[in-house]
């Protein structure tokens, strides 16, 4: 997975290797060597070809920013710590998979195949009897709840809002998903013990017992059991038709080791936190606190017959957040690859110059982090006259003022694409047939005039004012505050937005706030409190399109303080299509049409304007190959076992 040259003589292991070679090539002086003296005839000596020496060990050096506190999957330090990206990068060497995400598709790694509902392979719906007091998924709140009189539920055969029924008591039936996962045969832990289905069930039990906030899937799981040594079965709650059911396999943990520790002990013992064993390409040999982790190729690795990993040794070095020092260490060979944790956005111009000069190489991809700005369509606490953006025509005109392609080329150096819906253009469910609103200042200004936003003084440095705009007092200037956080790309983007809107007679005042204040929950949050005018922020893309970001059911309020739809957009057709996506079976024709419908409405109504996908970048030495950066991969080092260097890259 990772590639790097490293001078082994700086490590104790080198002296061991050298001593073995020397001992094998010499004769102890105290041993008598027997000689047989025979007459000889002078002759030309036969030239003996020297025995070729084995190639020296190959070492890959990956440089990271911070040193993780723990590598244990269910520790707070791993899940929420400052060094969680670095911890995830390190675990790519210890665990391979259990599946990879590449090009928005789930690829099996230690599983025989990915379960597929459409093919009827390893996935089925089964009827489940429900009584009062049973736990199920409420189709209105989308939360696990206890069934009680009057509560809504999905009866068997129902996967949409139109057929929801209210529970009246007694026994009823609903449907639940059953998914089987099959491990590859012959998998071994790095200590030589077999890896079995029980290890995955053990991991699930730990996840259920540890006090973490990430209980989404645990809370929606009815049962998780080992059917045999290689097969695990997941059963969901009735009414929960998970769109990512193919990922509901818990990453195995070595039960034969960790079962000897209590839950509190497991957070700190070396076997879980500092030297976990895995089934992946490398095994930890030494962890020098504050400096580095030394790993060696795992002889039990299930892909070793393929010649993987390509390196004999792997070193993770912790070098701090000084990007200039990091780049210098890459150029001098002290690092072979700089992880994304070391490369802030502001380093990109210098890195591109160094690549142009042939001194290093960059591997990149647009990420799944979509930068966008949301209009506040229904502000809280304000009158209708303050709702500048309630009219879709105004939003469309303001969007036409923005040259997004220029943002990609001038600010992001071409390392991105222009998204046109809430779904990434790289996503297989993206609606490619949509016609995005074009950049056209003339069209935008004409539309604003038609709506009633007029240039009353002919001065280019003053904003338009309202004259007959529905719901807006005459004379109100077309001026608003743009709320965002102070980050490298955003600073440059808001400068262009300000200029682009100024060309249309629109005034924008930028307000920078810290991200925590912006994203705090209702009612305190500056965005989710819904008192902003326009907010610029980033949201993730995912395997399942996140339609709920603009669904009416997700508008933050006293009744729904954790709603995600800060814009207040509430379109009945969009809501209906989104409900089909949230409640329906994944992969069905109804689901596919609903995904397209939400994008069509989003594109026409523009409650938000996607600006760009943030680039995901790593830097590495010129000699390296095999580095693949993917938008959704948990780490940029996900394909570490295939990294190589030098002549091998040309084969």
- Same domain assignment for residues 171 and 318: no
pLDDT digits 0-9 by tens, 333-347? 999 999 999 999 999
- Same domain assignment for residues 381 and 425: yes
- Residue in the structure block whose two tokens are 């013992």: 269
- Return the pLDDT at 414: 97
Q: Is 648 within the bounds of a domain?
A: yes
- Return the pLDDT at 212: 83
Q: How would DSSP label each residue in 432-456?
A: TT--PPP--HHHHHHHHHHHTEE-S
Mean of pLDDT over the chain: 91
Segment 10-17 long-range contacts (CB within 8 Å, at least 24 positions apart):
11/294, 13/285, 13/294, 13/313, 17/57
Nearest 5°: the CA angle 195, 306, 52 is 125
- Same domain assignment for residues 467 and 422: yes
- Same domain assignment for residues 382 and 438: yes
Helices (H), 470-558: 488-503, 515-519
In the Cβ-directed half-sphere of 282, how many Cα atoms lie within 13 Å? 30
Q: Is 165 within the bounds of a domain?
A: yes
- Same domain assignment for residues 342 and 408: no
Beta partners for residue 316, in sequence order = 62, 293
Q: Do 197 and 250 contact (CB within 8 A), yes or no? A: no
387 pLDDT above the threshold of 90: no
Q: Do 583 and 174 contact (CB within 8 A), yes or no? A: no
- Same domain assignment for residues 387 and 422: yes
The torsion angle over the Cα atoms of residues 368, 372, 377 and 378, rounded to 10 degrees, is: 60
- Same domain assignment for residues 59 and 83: yes
CATH number of the domain enclosing 226: 3.90.76.10
Q: Is 597 within the bounds of a domain?
A: yes
93 pLDDT above the threshold of 90: yes
Burial class (CB in 10 A: 0-12, 13-18, 19+), 28: exposed
CATH number of the domain enclosing 392: 3.10.105.10
**Euclidean distance between CA atoms 575 and 548, whole angstroms:** 8
- Same domain assignment for residues 212 and 227: yes
**Euclidean distance between CA atoms 245 and 242, whole angstroms:** 5
- Return the pLDDT at 51: 59
| Parent domain of 630 | 1-22+53-96+280-360+621-651
DSSP letter for 117, please. T
- Return the pLDDT at 41: 39
37 pLDDT above the threshold of 70: no
**Euclidean distance between CA atoms 552 and 419, whole angstroms:** 23
Q: Is 308 within the bounds of a domain?
A: yes
- Return the pLDDT at 126: 97
The 10 Å Cβ neighbour count of residue 45 is 6
Could you give the percent of the chain with pLDDT greater than 90? 86
**Euclidean distance between CA atoms 639 and 96, whole angstroms:** 9
Q: Is 482 within the bounds of a domain?
A: yes
Q: Which residues contact 640 (CB under 8 A, 6 or more apart)?
A: 1, 2, 92, 93, 281, 309, 314
Q: Do 206 and 150 contact (CB within 8 A), yes or no? A: no
Q: Is 410 within the bounds of a domain?
A: yes
Give the model's confidence band at 40: pLDDT under 50 very low, under 70 low, under 90 confident, else very high: very low
Burial class (CB in 10 A: 0-12, 13-18, 19+), 51: exposed
**Euclidean distance between CA atoms 633 and 635, whole angstroms:** 5
Query: Would you say the C-alpha torsion 194, 196, 201, 207 has a positive or negative sign?
Result: positive
- If one compares 293 and 2, the residue with the highest pLDDT of the two is 293
Give the model's confidence band at 56: pLDDT under 50 very low, under 70 low, under 90 confident, else very high: confident
**Euclidean distance between CA atoms 8 and 17, whole angstroms:** 10
- Return the pLDDT at 482: 98
Nearest to 362 by CA among 385, 328, 338: 338
Q: Is 46 within the bounds of a domain?
A: no
Q: Which residues contact 595 (CB under 8 A, 6 or more apart)?
A: 423, 429, 431, 545, 547, 577, 581
Q: Do 536 and 347 contact (CB within 8 A), yes or no? A: no
Give the model's confidence band at 458: pLDDT under 50 very low, under 70 low, under 90 confident, else very high: confident
Span of 143-157, 385-399, 474-488 with lowest mean pLDDT: 385-399
348 pLDDT above the threshold of 50: yes
- Same domain assignment for residues 478 and 341: no
- If one compares 128 and 586, the residue with the highest pLDDT of the two is 128
| Structural domain total, the chain | 3
- Return the pLDDT at 47: 59
**Euclidean distance between CA atoms 116 and 414, whole angstroms:** 37
214 pLDDT above the threshold of 90: no
pLDDT digits 0-9 by tens, 489-544? 999 999 999 999 999 999 999 999 999 999 999 999 999 999 999 999 999 999 99
**Euclidean distance between CA atoms 364 and 630, whole angstroms:** 8
- Same domain assignment for residues 410 and 546: yes
How many residues are recorded in the chain? Answer: 651
637 pLDDT above the threshold of 70: yes
- Same domain assignment for residues 75 and 219: no
SS3 string, 3-69, reads CCCCCHHHCHHHHHHHHHHHHHCCCCCCCCCCCCCCCCCCCCCCCCCCCCCCCCCCEEEEEECCCCC
- Same domain assignment for residues 396 and 539: yes
52 pLDDT above the threshold of 70: no
Q: Is 270 within the bounds of a domain?
A: no
CATH number of the domain enclosing 309: 3.40.190.10
**Euclidean distance between CA atoms 187 and 117, whole angstroms:** 26
Burial class (CB in 10 A: 0-12, 13-18, 19+), 560: middle
Q: Is the peptide bond before 309 cis (omega within 30 degrees of 0)?
A: yes
pLDDT digits 0-9 by tens, 557-584? 999 999 999 999 999 999 999 999 999 9
Query: Would you say the C-alpha torsion 190, 96, 246, 237 has a positive or negative sign?
Result: positive
- Return the pLDDT at 217: 98
Query: Would you say the C-alpha torsion 318, 322, 323, 327 has a positive or negative sign?
Result: negative
464 pLDDT above the threshold of 80: yes
131 pLDDT above the threshold of 60: yes
């Amino acid at each position: 997975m990772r590639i790097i040259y490293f001078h082994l003589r700086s490590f104790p292991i080198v002296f061991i290797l050298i001593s073995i070679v020397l001992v094998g090539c010499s004769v102890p002086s105290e041993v008598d060597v027997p000689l047989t003296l025979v007459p000889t005839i002078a002759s030309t000596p036969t030239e003996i070809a020297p025995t070729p020496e084995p190639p020296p060990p190959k070492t890959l050096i990956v440089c990271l920013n911070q040193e993780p506190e723990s590598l244990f999957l269910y520790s707070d330090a791993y899940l929420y710590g400052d060094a969680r990206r670095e911890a995830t990068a390190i675990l790519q060497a210890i665990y391979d998979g259990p599946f990879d995400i590449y090009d928005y598709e789930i690829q099996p790694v230690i599983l025989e195949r990915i379960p597929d509902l459409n093919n009827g392979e390893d996935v089925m719906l089964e009827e489940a009897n429900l009584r009062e007091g049973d736990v199920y998924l409420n189709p209105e709140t989308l939360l696990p709840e206890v069934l009680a009189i009057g509560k809504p539920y999905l009866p068997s055969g129902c996967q949409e809002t139109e057929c929801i029924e209210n529970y009246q008591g007694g026994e009823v039936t609903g449907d639940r998903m059953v998914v089987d996962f099959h491990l590859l045969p012959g998998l071994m832990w790095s200590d030589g013990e077999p890896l079995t289905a029980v290890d995955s069930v053990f991991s699930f039990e730990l996840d259920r017992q540890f006090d973490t906030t990430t209980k989404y899937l645990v809370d929606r799981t009815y049962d998780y059991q080992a059917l045999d040594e290689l097969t695990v079965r997941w059963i969901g709650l009735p009414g929960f038709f998970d769109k990512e059911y193919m990922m509901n396999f818990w990453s195995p943990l070595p039960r034969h080791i960790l079962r000897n520790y209590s839950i509190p002990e497991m957070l700190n013992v070396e076997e879980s936190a500092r030297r976990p064993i895995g089934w992946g390409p490398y095994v930890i040999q030494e962890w020098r606190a504050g400096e580095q982790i030394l790993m060696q190729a795992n002889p039990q690795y299930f892909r070793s017959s393929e010649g993987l990993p390509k390196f004999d040794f792997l070193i993770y070095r912790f070098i701090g957040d000084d990007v200039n020092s990091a780049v210098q260490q890459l150029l001098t060979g002290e690092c072979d690859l700089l992880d994304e944790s070391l490369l802030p956005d502001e380093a990109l111009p210098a890195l591109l110059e160094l690549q142009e000069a042939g001194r290093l190489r960059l591997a990149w991809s647009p990420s799944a982090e979509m930068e966008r700005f949301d209009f506040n369509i229904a502000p809280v606490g304000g009158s209708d006259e303050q709702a500048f953006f309630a009219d879709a025509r105004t939003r469309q005109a303001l969007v036409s003022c923005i040259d997004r392609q220029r943002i990609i080329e001038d600010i992001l150096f071409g390392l991105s694409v222009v998204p046109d819906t809430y779904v990434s253009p790289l996503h297989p469910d993206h609606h490619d047939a949509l016609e995005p609103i074009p950049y056209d200042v003339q069209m935008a200004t004409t539309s604003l005039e038609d709506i009633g936003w007029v240039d009353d003084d002919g001065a280019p440095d003053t904003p338009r004012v309202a004259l007959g705009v529905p719901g807006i007092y005459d004379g109100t200037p077309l001026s608003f505050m743009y709320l965002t956080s102070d980050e490298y790309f955003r600073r440059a983007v808001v400068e262009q937005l300000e200029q682009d809107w100024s060309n249309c007679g629109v005034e924008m005042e930028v307000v920078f706030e810290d991200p925590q204040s912006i994203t705090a929950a209702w009612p305190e949050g500056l965005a989710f409190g819904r008192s902003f005018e326009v907010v610029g922020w980033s949201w993730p893309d995912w395997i399942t399109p996140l339609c709920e970001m603009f669904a009416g059911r997700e508008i933050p309020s006293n009744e729904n303080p954790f709603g995600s739809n800060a814009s207040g957009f509430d379109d009945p057709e969009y809501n209906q299509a989104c409900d089909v996506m949230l409640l329906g079976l994944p992969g069905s024709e109804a689901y596919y049409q609903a995904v397209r419908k939400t994008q069509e409405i989003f594109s026409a109504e523009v409650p938000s304007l996607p600006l760009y996908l943030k680039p995901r970048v790593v830097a590495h030495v010129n000699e390296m190959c095999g580095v693949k950066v993917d938008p959704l991969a948990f780490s940029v080092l996900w394909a570490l076992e295939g990294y190589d260097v030098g002549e091998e890259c040309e084969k």
